[in-house]
Amino acid sequence: MCGIVGYTGINQVAQPILKGLKKLEYRGYDSSGIYINNGSSDILVKATGGVDDLRDVIEKQKKDLTGTAGIAHTRWATHGGVNVDNAHPHMSEDGRFYLVHNGVIENFQELKEQYLQDVNFHSETDSEVAVQLIDKFVKDGFSTFDSIRMMISKLDGESAYSFLIMDRKEPDLIFVAKNKSPMLVGLSDEGNVVASDAIGVLDITHDFIELHDGEIAVVDKNKVDLFDKNGKQIQRESFHVDIDASDTDKGIYPYYMLKEIDEQAIVARNLSEYYFDNNDQIQNIDPNIIKAMNDADRFYIIAAGTSWHAGLVGKRFFEQWANKPVEVFISSEFAFDQPKLSEKPFFIFLTQSGETADSREALIKIKEQGYPTLTLSNVMNSTLTREADFALPLMAGPEIAVASTKAYTAQIIAQSILAHAIGNSKMNIREELANIAVYMQSIIDSKEIFQKIANDALKNQRSAFYIGRGLDADVSYEAALKLKEISYIQTEGFAAGELKHGTISLIENKTPVFAFITQSKTAGLVRGNISETAARGAKTIIISSEKNAKSGDAYVLPQIPEIFMALLSVIPAQLIAYYATIDRGLNVDRPRNLAKSVTVQ
Ligand code: AGP
């Protein structure tokens, strides 16, 4: 999950490339680099840190980035530590070829030993092996294009890659190769761009050609030649991306995460408007989806991270309103440890990015078995939306912050609408969502309450717990992930009843324990469980619903149908995580070791 941008045009490209790279920084920000081919001399600049650090180095080294073709990369390290040598672009030994890579070359060590024994490597990365192999095959007498194809043919079949390659001797061309990692070619009158995510280059174009697995593109400033995995030239229609470039800006917000938390009420309304007509009837859901789901005897929800947490909540809508048994699986587990399936399974993939490699691996295996698949994603034209039988949009707008927030609530809402469409919720969902959006906004507008809770409960703390039962346990898992992934406070989300079976031994004086109490049938039990932690010195913070509130609760959520409560209870958790991170002076949008789209397994 790295950010990749290339541009070959009639104007100077360095600044548009760096601007695009900055927008893709959420995909990885350990280190970054740019190569500009200006015919006479080449400019290769690399730096640890993000794009701003790269700009500082360019400034300090007084590099002249004049040129009308170039490639750039922000890295999330897979092989090799975070340092300048391991940053991309990588250069061939003789300085003729330059390459950036997103993905993993599984058999890079074997290739080094078999073909590149006499090459002096600059880095410890798997990616550098690719550019040195190209150089070797060109020296053996093959063309650059054929050498790229030969390099690809040597990669292990499991290897995921998006490569951009430049050849000093063909200064206007960018060679693009793609397998499993996302890659788009953008078309404009002033040149053509290549990016791992359209939002990096929306200032330049909204029209793209997507590359499919195994394909190679040769991109020039005024044409794009596309070749299939057999080297046969093919044609492909471009598609238009409707995202407004301004949607990808933070605007007045200090961080994308806060902007995206704030947008959740709007997203709820967007989803309602998209999936319901003015007579409260379902629209924009392919009847074939409804039929395929009604024909199934069991649903399997497959997702990773926050999306998996959303699946735990979505399960309840399908079971209660559509009377369908549902199993929810972590993608990386299901892909390699498939359970015994029902006779007529239906698979639902939840994925904000539509590019998560773990989820894609599971999709490939499920499709090989011929089962029906549906992807709910925030990025249409992504790999998982393209490769599933059906796809439905989350309508959340670009989610840039690594910590997923509006995509989580959007996935829950989308699943509720789908369950309503195939079953009988006995509710007017459009009306419910309208009320919920109002309540979501009222909670979002109470930010300072959660800022105080975060400060009081979490300052100087190294660990924390979120607990609940049933739906409140599902939200506890998501609440814990939010807090730990950006504040680095070791946080566990726990089924409240399970705590006393061992983990309660971790409770010490002032250990923060947050409890969600929004489900009436277990409210009393959870209050008992939270008291057990208080008896051992915990600092307890209760987030309850009106119906289950008691004096002393830290925050009382407005009352809505209990099955929807996750849409309200998660917002305090998102804001508590945000403010705890701010208190620690950390970068909310760019937590260490993480990236937004996890395109490696
Ligand atoms: C959530 O805050 C994380 N960024 C991460 O767990 C994410 O939800 C997970 O990687 C799945 O991503 P996806 O929804 O794009 O498939």
Ligand 1 center to 393 CA (angstroms):
16
Q: Residue 596 catalytic?
A: yes
Angle 5-6-11 from CA coordinates, rounded to 5°: 125
Q: pLDDT of 144-157, one tens digit each?
A: 999 999 999 999 87
- For the sheet with 97-104, list strands across it: 90-91, 97-104, 160-167, 174-179, 215-219, 224-227, 233-234
Q: Tell me: pLDDT of 250 over 90.
A: no
Return the best residue to mutate from 333, 408, 598 for the ligand 1 pocket (most ligand atoms within 8 A of CB): 598
* 8-state DSSP, 96: -
Return the best residue to mutate from 255, 400, 404 for the ligand 1 pocket (most ligand atoms within 8 A of CB): 404
For residue 34, what are the β-bridge partners?
45, 72
CATH topology of domain 446-601: Rossmann fold (3.40.50)
Given this model, what pLDDT does residue 181 score?
80
Total Cβ atoms within 10 A of residue 26: 26
| Residues with C-beta less than 6 Å from any ligand 1 atom | 304-307, 351-353, 356, 359, 402-404, 481, 485, 597-598
Given this model, what pLDDT does residue 271 score?
97
Given this model, what pLDDT does residue 469 score?
98
SS3 content of the chain, % helix, strand, coil (to 5): 40, 25, 35
Dihedral over alpha carbons 527, 531, 537, 541 (to 10 degrees): 20
CATH topology of domain 250-444: Rossmann fold (3.40.50)
The torsion region of residue 281 among left (phi > 0), alpha (psi -120 to 50) and beta comes to beta
Would you say 526 and 472 are in contact if contact means Cβ atoms under 8 Å apart?
A: yes
Q: What is the CATH number of domain 3-247?
A: 3.60.20.10
Would you say 115 and 136 are in contact if contact means Cβ atoms under 8 Å apart?
A: yes
Would you say 207 and 246 are in contact if contact means Cβ atoms under 8 Å apart?
A: no
CATH 3.60.20.10-classified regions of the chain: 3-247
Total Cβ atoms within 10 A of residue 130: 30
Among 279, 276, 250, CA closest to 263: 250
**Residue whose tokens read 């490209």:** 13
Dihedral over alpha carbons 418, 423, 428, 429 (to 10 degrees): -20
Q: pLDDT of 8-44, one tens digit each?
A: 999 999 999 999 999 887 766 789 999 998 766 668 9
Angle 324-374-178 from CA coordinates, rounded to 5°: 155
- Token reading at 291: 């039929």
pLDDT-derived band at 275, boundaries 50, 70, 90: very high
Would you say 513 and 530 are in contact if contact means Cβ atoms under 8 Å apart?
A: yes
Q: pLDDT of 49-98, one tens digit each?
A: 889 999 999 999 888 899 999 999 998 776 777 889 999 999 999 899 99
Which residue, by CA, sits nearest to atom 5 of ligand 1? 305
Would you say 563 and 320 are in contact if contact means Cβ atoms under 8 Å apart?
A: yes
Given this model, what pLDDT does residue 77 score?
73
How deeply is 112 buried, as exposed, middle or buried, from its count of CB atoms within 10 A (0-12, 13-18, 19+)? Answer: middle
CATH 3.40.50.10490-classified regions of the chain: 250-444, 446-601
Backbone angles phi, psi at 207, to 5 degrees: -110, 125
Given this model, what pLDDT does residue 545 score?
98
